[in-house]
């Protein structure tokens, strides 16, 4: 029987793929690709057809198979899959490095760039050639002998360490649970959390668990952890859960501490081999930001606008807790802040987050989100469940169509939390990219397909999934990424969608979409009470929008702390261990210092197992871009439908369409007409009047 991982079907055969298929599929594929690569290297003629097109074909065939395996590691993790993944990963990395370091191909590309044929290529093709040369240089094509061998060993080691890091976080997260049996222990918890935790208890073997009588199982998974910290009246239980959360993956066989030290050491060595003074400089060589000082300037500007505000917000919280008679008011701890912040928000804005859930059943939210996509970008999204194999029964499949052009893309949606097998957070990833070269026979293009992954509250006791407002924002965010992947107009696979978009600009489309959650017509239009069908009352929307700037200084400073810490670890490594470095950076960038035992770095997957190493600042960098982009709609007039559609069309034809075919700043300017400014972001967050930040 043919290995389903090597099936040439347009969409992966998730209904047939098992861990046992991984190693034989990859070994067969790598052998074939190695032969193809050798053939390209023998010819290496300095033309687009002889060099770039074979690279696209080879890279895509590897992505088709290895990408599916990586996807399943994230959404259907198992011991069997892990073992297969870890055994074959070094061979995949070795081939990828060989491909990137091919001297014949590199020399051929250099000859192409210097030839008259280069001038005949269009702008997107020229950029692809230039980026292929840059990436080859950043992957060690210029290294020889022992230096190359060492660089390649580092690449393999780093890939394995990232996989171990992520697996440790998943295992540590699912290893902890707080089992509550007394009614007083769940006082204050919203009904939705009691229902979720009772369901978790039943899944753990407590067959008689109910929302009313318990027992209730609280976990470190976000849909459980976050509302518990915001609503549990038992301070001792909040403390216990918080301490478990910040010490995930820092003990025993799951300890990521040694892995962090090893990852940072290897990254420093990697950068040094390539002639960079730090890994941060290596990272920024392929990003939008010019250099580390440019990143520092942006972060410092935002710090200056947020630090004093964050200090004031903490003092305000202390005063509020004291007025409420809280004995802990004088010394608020980390496990107190979410609880009292939620109480103050409820009092100030006169609504509870739990009041919003019934208005946001997932099916209605999706309907409203898809309606917004049609309004702004002229696309129609329709369910196509059953038309594609899926990896879990909750996964849905949708097709994207455009008037007069038919189908242009498709995507999977995996919406719910499954802590036993699915990593936390939310993300978008590629299943297939748009490409003219890789079109099926008889078709002009291969259409893009996306994975859209969230960890929302699942349906409980016959009710639909009822989203928190934060979960609505997350869905909009990830859908923004998917739109950039799916609505690209670029036909070259190496620059379509999010391919070769600078990493510090890749959050632009996603964070841009979040802004629509605060637009009256949009939010009310996607709401519908799951029992009565009534839309969200306008007075509730007014309160939501007013609360948008609530604790904005604290929220921004938290992201800046992570960004400064990431940059410090990758640019100014000192004699401190990483946790001492964290404590030192916290002195200047937090208003409530981390606990001495805080080990959040051990679960910081973004920089140790994701793509954000020396790049976590990208969230704030791109947020400046996204806020400025949304300001174009505000300036056009959000109530002027024709202006909104015209601006949306321009956004689509630039930010969403051009992908990596042009530099991100050029793409932004083509939409906005000018360079980005922090003014819109500071206005949206209520921090428009910069304050002086203290230095100690």
pLDDT in tens, 425-434: 999 999 999 9
Residue 10's pLDDT band, with cuts at 50, 70 and 90, is confident
| 137 dihedral zone (left: phi>0; alpha: psi -120 to 50; beta) | alpha
What pLDDT is attached to residue 1?
57
pLDDT tens digits for 550-570? 999 999 999 999 999 999 999
Q: What percent of the chain has pLDDT over 90?
A: 96
Closest among 430, 489, 434, 495 to 130, alpha carbons compared: 495
Q: For the chain, give the number of residues.
A: 696
First to last CA, the chain: 66
pLDDT of 689 higher than 70: no
Inter-residue contact 326 to 340 (CB < 8 Å): yes
pLDDT in tens, 103-138: 999 999 999 999 999 999 999 999 999 999 999 999
Q: Which residue has the tokens 């590691």?
A: 73
For the question of residue 478 being annotated catalytic, the response is: yes
Rounded to whole angstroms, the Cα distance separating 139 from 148 reads 10
**Under a CB-based contact definition with an 8 Å cutoff, are residues 56 and 438 in contact?**
yes
Per mean pLDDT, which range of 4-8, 96-100, 663-667, 668-672 is the poorest? Answer: 4-8
State the sign of the Cα–Cα–Cα–Cα dihedral 37, 39, 42, 47. negative
CA atoms of 374 and 518, how far apart (whole Å): 18
449, containing H or E segment: strand 449-456
Helix, strand, coil share (%) of the chain residues, nearest 5: 60, 10, 30
Please list, residue by residue across 384-411, b when 16 or more beta carbons sit within 10 angstroms of its beta carbon and e when fewer do: eeeebbbbeeebbbbbbbeeeeeebbbb
The overall pTM is greater than 0.85: yes
Q: What's the rounded Cα separation, in Å, for the pair 6 and 26?
A: 9
Q: For residue 522, what are the contacts with CB-CB under 8 A and spacing of at least 6?
A: 368, 372, 516
> What tokens does 311 get?
């200090």
Residue 504 has pLDDT above 60, yes or no: yes
Would you state the pLDDT for residue 405?
84
Q: What is the pLDDT of residues 135-191, one digit of tens each?
A: 999 999 999 999 999 999 999 999 999 999 999 999 999 999 999 999 999 999 999
Number of CB atoms found within 10 A of residue 507's CB: 21
SS (H, E, C) 599-639: CHHHHCHHHHCCCCCCCCCHHHHHHHHHHHHHHHHHHHCCC
402: helix, coil or strand?
strand
CA distance 266 to 259: 10
CA–CA gap between residue 384 and residue 400 (Å, rounded): 10
pLDDT-derived band at 648, boundaries 50, 70, 90: very high
DSSP sequence for 306-365: HHHHHHHHHHHHHHHHHHTT-TTGGG--TTTHHHHHHHHHHHHHS--HHHHGGG-BHHHH
Phi, psi of 216 (to 5 degrees): -120, 130
Tokens of 520: 């009256």
Q: Are the C-beta atoms of 129 and 52 separated by less than 8 Å?
A: yes
Per-residue pLDDT of 447-479, as tens digits, reads 999 999 999 999 998 899 999 999 999 999 999
Q: Which residues of 166-200 are buried (b: 16+ CB within 10 A; e: fewer)?
A: bbbbbebbbebbbbbeeeebbeebbebbbbbbbbb
pLDDT score, position 8:
81
The overall average pLDDT reported for the chain is 96
User: Given the structure tokens 């992957």, which residue do they identify?
Assistant: 139
Of the CA atoms within 13 Å of residue 569, those in its CB half-sphere come to: 32
CA distance 486 to 410: 7
Q: Is 80 exceeded by the pLDDT of residue 679?
A: yes
Mean pLDDT of 77-83: 97
| pLDDT attached to residue 693 | 39
pLDDT tens figures, 380-425:
999 999 999 999 999 999 999 998 889 999 999 999 999 999 999 9
Question: Cα dist. 326→56, 329, 339 in Å?
Answer: 62, 5, 11
Tokens 């047939």 — which residue? 16
Indicate whether 599 pLDDT > 70.
yes
Local confidence band at 695 (pLDDT 50, 70, 90 cut-offs):
very low
pLDDT at 164 (0 to 100): 98
Q: Tens digits of per-residue pLDDT, 254-264?
A: 999 999 999 99
Strand residue runs (E) in 125-282: 177-180, 216-219
The answer, yes or no, to whether the previous bond of 402 is cis (omega within 30 of 0) is no
Phi, psi of 462 (to 5 degrees): 85, -10
pLDDT tens per residue, range 29-67: 999 999 999 999 999 999 999 999 999 999 999 999 999
Taking only the tens place, the pLDDT of each residue in 316-347 is 999 999 999 999 988 999 999 999 999 999 99
Sequence-distant (≥ 6) Cβ neighbours of residue 265 within 8 angstroms: none
Residue 690 is predicted with a pLDDT of 43
Say whether pLDDT at 217 is over 60. yes
pLDDT at res. 182: 96
> Running DSSP on this structure, what letter comes out for residue 693?
P
Has residue 589 got a pLDDT over 70? yes
Question: What integer pLDDT is reported at residue 329 of this predicted model?
Answer: 87
140 is written with which tokens?
A: 């060690």
Q: What residues contact residue 25 under an 8 Å CB cut-off, 6+ apart?
A: 3, 5, 6, 65
Show the domains of the chain with their CATH numbers. 4-142 (1.20.1050.40), 176-248 (no CATH)
Catalytic residue (choose from 230, 471, 478, 514): 478
Q: How is residue 694 annotated by DSSP?
A: P
């Amino acid at each position: 029987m043919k290995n389903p991982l090597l099936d040439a079907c347009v969409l992966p055969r998730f209904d047939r793929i098992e861990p046992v298929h991984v190693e034989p599929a990859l070994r067969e594929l790598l052998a074939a690709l190695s032969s193809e690569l050798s053939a390209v290297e023998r010819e290496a003629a300095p033309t687009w057809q002889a060099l770039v097109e074979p690279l696209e074909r080879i890279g895509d065939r590897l992505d088709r198979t290895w990408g599916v395996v990586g996807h399943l590691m994230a959404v259907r993790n198992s011991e069997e899959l892990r073992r297969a993944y870890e055994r074959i990963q070094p061979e995949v990395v070795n081939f990828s490095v060989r491909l990137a370091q091919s001297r014949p191909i590199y020399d051929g590309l250099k000859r192409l760039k210097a030839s008259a044929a280069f001038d005949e290529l269009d702008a997107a093709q020229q950029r692809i050639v230039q980026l292929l040369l840059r990436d080859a240089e950043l992957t060690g094509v210029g290294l020889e002998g022992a230096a190359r061998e060492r660089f390649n060993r580092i690449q393999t080691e780093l890939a394995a360490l990232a996989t171990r890091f992520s697996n440790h976080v998943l295992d540590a997260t699912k290893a902890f649970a707080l089992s509550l049996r007394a009614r007083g222990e769940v006082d204050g918890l919203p009904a939705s959390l009691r229902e979720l935790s009772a369901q978790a208890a039943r899944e753990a073997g407590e067959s008689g668990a109910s929302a009313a009588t318990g027992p209730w199982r609280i976990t470190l998974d976000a849909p459980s952890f976050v509302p518990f910290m915001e609503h549990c009246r038992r301070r001792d239980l909040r403390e216990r859960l918080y301490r478990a959360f910040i010490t995930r993956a820092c003990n025993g066989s799951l300890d990521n501490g040694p892995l962090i030290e090893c990852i940072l050491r290897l990254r420093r060595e990697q950068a040094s081999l390539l002639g960079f003074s730090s890994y941060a400089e290596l990272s920024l060589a392929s990003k939008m930001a010019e250099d580390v000082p440019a990143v520092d300037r942006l972060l410092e500007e935002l710090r200056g606008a947020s630090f004093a505000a964050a200090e004031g917000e903490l003092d305000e919280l202390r005063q509020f807790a004291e007025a409420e008679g809280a004995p802990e008011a004088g010394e608020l701890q980390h496990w107190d802040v979410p609880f009292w912040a939620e109480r103050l928000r409820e009092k100030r804005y006169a609504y509870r987050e739990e009041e919003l859930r019934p208005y946001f059943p997932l099916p209605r939210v999706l309907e409203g989100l898809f309606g917004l996509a049609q309004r702004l970008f002229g696309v129609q999204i329709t369910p196509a469940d059953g038309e594609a194999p899926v990896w879990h029964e909750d996964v849905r499949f949708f097709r994207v169509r455009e008037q007069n052009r038919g189908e242009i893309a498709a995507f999977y949606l995996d919406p719910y939390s499954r802590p036993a097998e699915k990593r936390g957070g939310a993300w978008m990833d590629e299943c297939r990219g748009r490409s003219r070269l890789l079109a099926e026979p008889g078709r002009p293009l291969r259409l893009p397909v996306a994975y859209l992954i969230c960890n929302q509250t699942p349906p409980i006791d016959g009710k639909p999934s009822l989203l928190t407002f934060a979960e609505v924002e997350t869905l909009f965010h990830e859908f923004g990424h998917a739109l950039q992947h799916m609505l690209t107009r670029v036909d070259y696979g190496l620059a379509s969608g999010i391919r070769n978009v600078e990493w510090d600009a890749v959050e632009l489309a996603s964070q841009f979409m979040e802004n629509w959650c605060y637009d009256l017509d949009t939010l009310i239009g996607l709401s519908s009470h799951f029992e009565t069908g009534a839309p969200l009352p306008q007075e509730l929307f007014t309160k939501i929008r007013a609360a948008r700037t609530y604790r904005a200084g604290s929220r921004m400073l938290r992201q800046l702390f992570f960004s400064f810490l990431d940059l410090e670890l990758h640019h100014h490594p000192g004699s401190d261990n990483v946790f001492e470095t964290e404590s030192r950076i916290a002195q200047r960038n937090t208003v409530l210092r981390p606990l001495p035992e805080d080990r959040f770095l051990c679960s910081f997957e973004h920089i140790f197992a994701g793509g954000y190493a020396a790049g976590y600042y990208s969230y704030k960098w791109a947020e400046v871009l996204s806020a400025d982009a949304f300001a174009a709609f505000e300036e056009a007039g959000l109530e002027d439908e024709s202006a909104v559609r015209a601006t949306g069309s321009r956004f689509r034809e630039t930010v969403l369409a051009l992908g990596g075919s042009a530099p991100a700043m050029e793409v932004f300017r083509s939409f906005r007409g000018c360079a980005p400014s922090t003014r819109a972001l500071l206005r949206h967050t209520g921090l428009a009047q910069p304050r002086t930040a203290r230095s100690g």
